[in-house]
Amino acid sequence: MCKNECLVYALLKILIYTQANFISKQEKYYKVNILCMIDCKFYIIHNLEEDRYNNVMHLLEKNNIPTSKIEFINHPNKNELTIDIKRKAVQKNAKIKDGWISCSYKHYLALEKIVHGSEEFGVIMEDNIGSFYENIYERLSKYLDELPKDWEILYDSVWGDYSLLDEEVVTTEKLVYKKSNEVSKDINGKIISHGGTRAAQFYFVNKVGAKKLYDNFLPFNHSADMWMNDVLRKANINSFWSEPSLVVSKFNSKTSTNLSLKNNLLYILKSKFHNYRLGI
């Protein structure tokens, strides 16, 4: 009798474990799919470096981002800028490298896609992110729970620490903090933020914010993150930071905004001639 009771008990344990494991998997499945209902597309500012592409795709797949919601902004690269692009995109006397022009222009193209796209929200991220603090959809859901109805953009990055700003007090009770678009100083008066941006590594934007940025982005005179500070002020965009940040590390690679003299001599000469003609 004891053997039979032990056998029944063992079978019950197996059944309970199997059901619990199945329920756990189902809960995880439904949780991910509910989070995927956030109507958002991810635009990656990319320079065609294979290591960066592989790293970004690994991160996004790990975070359950469907490939249909991922789009890479690959062109124009720093050795592909035409005189027409420079004439349209860059202010006179800007004195900025082609690498910065390329990157800033790609941010503009990403904003254009959000403005004209069907999704309610967009994430623009650069291809140098190393890792995330938690699941991206889970964090975006938390942001939406905390953001006010009139929010327009939220910046997230490994750069900067909101607690050092002389603005809101950081607590463990929330993630989202209002960011002044003016130059921010610490308690000693030292400039530690030039405006509302937190670099341009990862930012979450709605249609209204994207349209304001897009309409005022060109022509620019600096890298995307620095230039957007001017745009945020000009368009009076309602900006926020997250603390702690979702992005927790940077992906290190060999890429630089500088052009290689050995590999791009003809392009460099042509670029300098275009810059001279355009006065940039």
Domain parsing of the chain, residue ranges: 39-278
Band (pLDDT 50/70/90 cuts) for residue 263 is: confident
What's the confidence (pLDDT) of residue 114?
98
Amino acid symbol at 15: L
pLDDT tens digit sequence for 230-242: 999 999 999 999 9
Question: For the chain, what's the residue count?
Answer: 280
Domain 39-278 has CATH 3.90.550.10: yes
Angle between helices 207-216 and 224-235 in degrees, nearest 10: 100
Band (pLDDT 50/70/90 cuts) for residue 26 is: very low
Q: How far is CA 217 from the centre of its chain?
A: 17
| Burial category of 124 from C-beta neighbours within 10 Å (exposed 0-12, middle 13-18, buried 19 and up) | buried
Report whether 185 contacts 194 (CB < 8 A): no
How far apart CA 99 and CA 97 sit, in angstroms, is 5
Count other C-beta atoms under 10 Å from residue 117's C-beta: 16
> What proportion of the chain, given as a percentage, has pLDDT over 70?
85
pLDDT tens digit sequence for 159-185: 889 998 889 999 999 999 999 999 988
> What proportion of the chain, given as a percentage, has pLDDT over 90?
75
Cα dihedral across residues 92, 93, 98, 102: positive or negative? negative
The Cα-based distances of 277 to 92, 97, 280 in angstroms read 10, 16, 8
The Cα-based distances of 113 to 69, 117, 121 in angstroms read 12, 5, 11
Model's pTM, two decimal places? 0.86
How far apart CA 123 and CA 110 sit, in angstroms, is 9
Structure tokens at 233: 């002020």
Count other C-beta atoms under 10 Å from residue 134's C-beta: 12
